[in-house]
Amino acid sequence: MVRQAIAEHQRLRVLFMLDNDSVDTLDLIAAELDHHIRFEERVLFGEIQQRATREQLLLLDEIHQEIPDDNQWADRFWE
């Protein structure tokens, strides 16, 4: 499962780096992203929750908090 997630991340990276804004490319990105999100939400995250210890989950949360948020939007339209 982890290998699948890593491979899908790599494939998405490659697709996003293509210098091609064709409708076909954008449709492929949308389909791949939809498939990947469904896999992570329905399979991978559930498996992690079942197998990871409380300490491991807390460590993941801590690491996630340390990741800088580059999305500092001036116009916070959603608020």
Q: What is the SS3 assignment for 8?
A: helix
- Tell me the longest C-alpha to C-alpha distance in the chain: 45
In whole angstroms, give the CA distance from residue 64 to residue 3.
21
In whole angstroms, give the CA distance from residue 34 to residue 22.
18
CB within 8 A of 9, min separation 6: which ones? Answer: 36
pLDDT in tens, 15-72: 999 988 789 999 999 999 999 999 999 999 999 999 999 999 999 888 888 776 667 7
Domain residue spans in the chain? 2-66
pLDDT at 58: 94
pLDDT at 39: 96
